[in-house]
Amino acid sequence: MNALRIGIAGLGNVGAGVVKILSQNAELVAKRAGRPIVVTAVSARDRSRDRGVSLDGIAWVDDAAELATRDDVDVVVELIGGSDGPALTLARRTLKAGKPLVTANKAMLAHHGLELAEAAETAGLPLKYEAAVAGGIPVIKGLAEGAAANRIARVYGLMNGTCNYILSRMEAEGLGFAEVLADAQALGFAEADPSFDIDGIDTAHKLSILAALAFGARIDFAGVACHGIRNVAAADIAQAAALGFRIKLVGLAEAEDGQLFQRVHPALVPIDHPIATTMGSLNAVVVEGDFVGRLFFQGRGAGEGPTASAVVADLVDIARGDVRPPFVMPVADLAALPRAPAADRRGRYYLRLSVADRAGVLAELTAALRDCGVSIESLVQRGTSGSDAMVVMVTHEAREADVLESLARMAASPAVAGQPVMMHILDF
Ligand SMILES: NC(=O)c1ccc[n+]([C@@H]2O[C@H](COP(=O)([O-])OP(=O)(O)OC[C@H]3O[C@@H](n4cnc5c(N)ncnc54)[C@H](OP(=O)(O)O)[C@@H]3O)[C@@H](O)[C@H]2O)c1
């Protein structure tokens, strides 16, 4: 059978990784794909840069968009990145030119996924993106194929290796956020501009894609409430550990009563929960189906090898002739689910406050909680420096709006210093 000819735009970590796999594992991949998969053309910005892979015999294209219309390219792999700009131009042109598209670009999919999926469907073309969510972990396939029989109620997990690495090191070494971030940047585990990762935006991109697949819903990236890890303090990590929890940046999506809830936030995860045992730069995703129960996916969510592995898996599917709607069902059938309000959600909460170390303060705090209908499961007060004390509470299950109201009342007290901390406890 004829070889499947690939054009790759972007030869950074992932692009070079794809070239490497397709060269090192060429025979194996050809057997599994039913035909050879060969790279015929590539594009990046700097032609002179050594990519650590041989580009002999491969055409170099300065304008990535040209890959879409080259006669020697059957499939375009977009590995440039960015929600718009050259990546989006190339993606649109590729589908318009009648060619399948593979991408690892979660930002582009979160913003333009429905438009691109519609274009792919109309043209009867594959648009595949396994690498866009949780890197090497086959969670897109897991949801789209393995869990296809199930009504999915919830999907959640740790989808950003940088955040998980930072939180893991803060816990292991008792260090503050800024110190670990600076070190992670020096070691290449965090970007020079880490905001997409640490502010939860990258997780939100991935979550919005997973939610669409899991619930048959239209992507609603703007509907993801997003809180990152900048404000997670070493004190919270230590207190959480003392209470039997680990703090993780959790992306959570639920569909209930025809509404969609999506949030990214640092949460306290019970120490024996599978995602609490996911340390360092690993990712984990949990899918809850009505017949299959809890599925747990864990592995490398980033890096050259794992991400390129997912890209090549998509290419193998395309080589075999697999064409399905990118979000499993046609875009026209995806529901525009209204956003579920957070106010009525129920759960347990972790609260930490810095208070004046004097008589009557605790009574004031507990009164604020009582007046809002929030009861306390445990409360610890520890003397800190000077005249302040740290109060850590875990609430019983309560309504989120009530907890927030009680927190506002406590924050307004002259006995409370600074902003109280509130975090969700993951109880499922
Ligand atoms: N890295 C990961 O672990 C990972 C994991 C999952 C998903 N992803 C996604 O995979 C994609 C690629 O990530 P990456 O880490 O490989 O990025 P990267 O290392 O920054 O590489 C980006 C590549 O795109 C090239 N490029 C930039 N602008 C271009 C243009 N206008 N035309 C042609 N090429 C252009 C760059 O060229 P030069 O090399 O010449 O500068 C570079 O080779 C992104 O969407 C990212 O979100 C990455």
426 C-beta closer than 6 A to ligand 1: no
Neighbours of 278 (CB within 10 A): 23
Beta bridge partners of 266: 249
In a domain, residue 314? The reply is no
Indicate whether 219 and 149 sit together in one domain. yes
Give pLDDT tens digits for 370-421.
999 999 999 999 876 667 899 999 999 999 999 999 999 999 999 999 899 9
- The pLDDT of residue 192: 87
32 part of a folded domain? yes
The answer to whether residues 104 and 149 belong to one domain is: no
Residue 175: both structure tokens together: 């260090």
With a 6 A CB cut-off, is 117 part of the ligand 1 pocket?
A: no
CA distances from 377 to 349, 362, 369, 396, 413 (A): 10, 15, 12, 5, 22
Residue for token pair 């303060």: 361
**Distance in angstroms (rounded) separating the CA atoms of residues 178 and 401:** 31
DSSP annotation of 331? G
The residues near 277 (Cβ < 8 Å, ≥ 6 apart) are none
CA of 16 to the centre of ligand 1 (A): 10
Distance 105 CA to ligand 1 centre (A): 9
Ranges of the chain with pLDDT below 50: none
Spatial separation of the C-alpha atoms in residues 212 and 55, rounded to whole Å: 37
Question: Which of 8, 21, 80 most suits a substitution to test ligand 1, by most atoms within 8 Å of the C-beta?
Answer: 80
Domain shared by 110 and 181, yes or no: no
187 phi and psi, to 5 degrees? -90, -5
CA distances from 201 to 106, 163, 169 (A): 10, 11, 21
Specify the pLDDT at position 146. 97
Residue located nearest, by CA, to atom 31 of ligand 1: 86
Q: Active-site residue 206, yes or no? A: yes
* pLDDT, position 385: 63
- Interval between CA 112 and ligand 1 midpoint (Å): 18
The residue out of 132, 161, 190 marking a domain boundary is: 132
Is the distance from the beta carbon of residue 64 to the nearest atom of ligand 1 less than 6 Å? yes
411 CB burial (10 A radius; 0-12, 13-18, 19+): middle
Q: How far is CA 115 from CA 84, 107, 127, 283, 330, in A?
A: 13, 14, 11, 28, 12
DSSP per-residue string spanning 261-305: EEEEEEEEEETTSTTTT--TTEEEEEEEETTTEEEEEEEE-SSHH
Pocket mutation for ligand 1, best pick of 13, 106, 112 (most atoms within 8 Å of C-beta): 13
- pLDDT 10s digits, 208-254: 999 999 999 999 999 999 999 999 999 999 999 999 999 999 999 99
Q: Is residue 190 assigned to a domain? A: yes
Pocket test for ligand 1, best of 45, 164, 196, 210 (most atoms within 8 A of CB): 45
What CATH code is carried by the domain that includes residue 379? 3.30.70.260
The rounded Å distance from CA 297 to ligand 1 centre is 25
Out of 107, 132, 157, a domain closes at: 132
Structurally, the chain folds into a number of domains equal to 3
Q: Which domain holds residue 354?
A: 346-423
303 Cβ inside 6 Å of ligand 1: yes
243, part of any domain:
yes
Burial class (CB in 10 A: 0-12, 13-18, 19+), 191: middle
Are 220 and 108 part of one and the same domain?
no
